[in-house]
Amino acid sequence: MDSKVSIVWFRNDLRLHDNEAFFEASSSSQTVIPVYIFDPRVFESKTKFGFAKTGKFRLRFILESITDLKKQLQQQGSDLIIRIGEPENVLPDLSKQFDASWIFCNRERTDEEVKVQDSLEKTLWTIGREIRYSRGKMLYYTADLPFPVTHTPDTFTSFRKEVEKFIPVRKPIGIDRLRFSTLDFVEDLGAVPSLESFGVEDFEIAKGMSFTGGETEALNHLAYYFSDQKFPSTYKETRNQLLGKEFSTKFSVYLSTGCLSPKMAYHQLKEYEAQYGANESTYWIFFELLWRDFFRLMGKKHGNKIFKIGGIVEKDLELNADWEKFNKWSRGETGMPFIDANMRELNTTGFMSNRGRQNTASYLIKDLGLNWLMGAEYFESLLIDYDPCSNYGNWNYIAGVGCDPREQRYFNILSQAKRYDPKGTFVRYWLPELINLPDHFVHNPDQMNEEDKAKYPHQYFSSLVPSTMWSS
């Protein structure tokens, strides 16, 4: 067996910049074989409540990202082997086929991914191969933190105070430090599958924002965002806006699949601050990157608790699964315009603002009294920027079973709507049937009397049941 051959298994690290697994393989081997595996359990299965585990928006984004990764590797004289199957079966076969000693990959920490890792590791042991784990999802290295993962503070503020001023963020690994190998000895590289091969028809996003997957797009977006002084320097003031691409960074879209390294985003931020100056807004971009690390550490520390109804605090909750109410919520047909507009954006584009996510989650849990896991799984299916720890960590937080020191966090939807969409611009964009309503009715058209209805006829409630039905 040639100990100088390694396989790099790409997972949620679909990039070449700051790819530690690739770097370590390059440092240890003469020949590096890049591999991506489409696992049917991820791409073709359902969640517990029956939603597609990987919905069409994220599926297309991942396919675009794999296509771009393959192109990037080809430009370096290498290529990407693509397979469909279970990694714990495919990778040992490939290691034997190419006489590879090691499999390098990023370690994942959530249950389904860990089971695959453990099964793969056991199989590799039986054939005299090894798996070597790297890290690439976080801003900080766990080895640099002032506490072991199991002692991570359970509140974000405590965590932030212990790390932000004391622990440096390491510099990202440059692509120039990677070794690329030709794959002319591989007879069957495999091809990037189509949407149709997963039973999904191709589609267009005719309204709202759309995103293209891949490291190329990620780095272009990063450069674009930091090229305009007003974007980062006004981020804190604009981040709760609801329409337009530039009101927030949109880094999460590329961070979730690893098309963008969080360390790369951080160091670009530092370069921006060095040129234009730091302020509260630029700090807040770092603040949000820090939240991502915190949720990932919560996932590492508490394991499967984040996926259970009682959350990390193991609270005894009784929440129902009323599908009539849930379907109204999921389709954007609750009769609460601010909620419906946000849900229709999600259903149309695969994206929703952070403000929208907090309000729709709170409404499902606190106003409709539904099992928060239904909403979390629905978001898992549709969100283009889905990340297990961030998604379930945020739902834990809103449900009062996570790291929120306030036990009864509640969002007054009407108050939130009037604060963040005072003119109803966002609501009218996604609910054009309300376009002619005056501002004082656009967020609560159920308050119109018969005279108002005759003066401003609209179709919103013709097929919907007003949100007041849930008060009973």
Same domain, 118 and 89: yes
- Cα(130)–Cα(314) distance, integer angstroms: 37
- Cα(7)–Cα(104) distance, integer angstroms: 6
Residue 99: predicted pLDDT:
95
Same domain, 239 and 270: yes
**In the chain, which residues have pLDDT < 50?**
1-2, 465-472
CATH number at residue 117: 3.40.50.620
Name the token pair of 278.
Answer: 């730091």
Question: What's the helix, strand, coil split of the chain in %, to 5?
Answer: 50, 5, 40
Residue 183: predicted pLDDT:
97
Structurally, the chain folds into a number of domains equal to 3
- Cα(42)–Cα(37) distance, integer angstroms: 10
227 within some domain: yes
Same domain, 252 and 333: no
- Cα(190)–Cα(145) distance, integer angstroms: 41
Same domain, 68 and 41: yes
Same domain, 77 and 112: yes
Same domain, 242 and 285: yes
Residue type, 191: A
Same domain, 153 and 298: yes
Residue 469: predicted pLDDT:
41
CATH number at residue 245: 1.25.40.80
Same domain, 290 and 341: no
| Sheet with 81-84, side-by-side order of all strands | 81-84, 31-38, 5-10, 102-106, 130-134
| pTM confidence score | 0.95
Cα angle 95, 97, 102 (rounded to 5 degrees) comes to 20
Same domain, 122 and 237: no
372 within some domain: yes
115 within some domain: yes
188 within some domain: no
208 within some domain: no
Residue 37, CA distances (Å) to 5, 11, 12, 63, 215 in order: 19, 8, 11, 12, 18
Answer whether 437's CB lies under 8 Å from 333's CB. no
Residue at a domain's end among 248, 274, 303: 303
CATH number at residue 447: 1.10.579.10
205 within some domain: no
User: Is the dihedral angle over the CA atoms 409, 411, 412, 415 positive or is it negative?
Assistant: positive
Name the token pair of 209.
Answer: 């924002």
Name the token pair of 327.
Answer: 């379907």
Instruction: Mention every residue, 6+ apart, whose C-beta is less than 8 A from residue 277.
Output: 233
- Cα(321)–Cα(218) distance, integer angstroms: 38
The values of phi and psi at residue 102, to 5°, are: -130, 150
Residue 403: predicted pLDDT:
80
Answer whether 22's CB lies under 8 Å from 6's CB. no
Longest Cα pair distance anywhere in the chain, in angstroms? 84
Same domain, 153 and 114: no
Same domain, 249 and 298: yes
207 within some domain: no
210 within some domain: no
Same domain, 39 and 164: no
Domain assignment of residue 275, given as a range: 137-173+216-303
User: Is the dihedral angle over the CA atoms 363, 366, 369, 374 positive or is it negative?
Assistant: positive
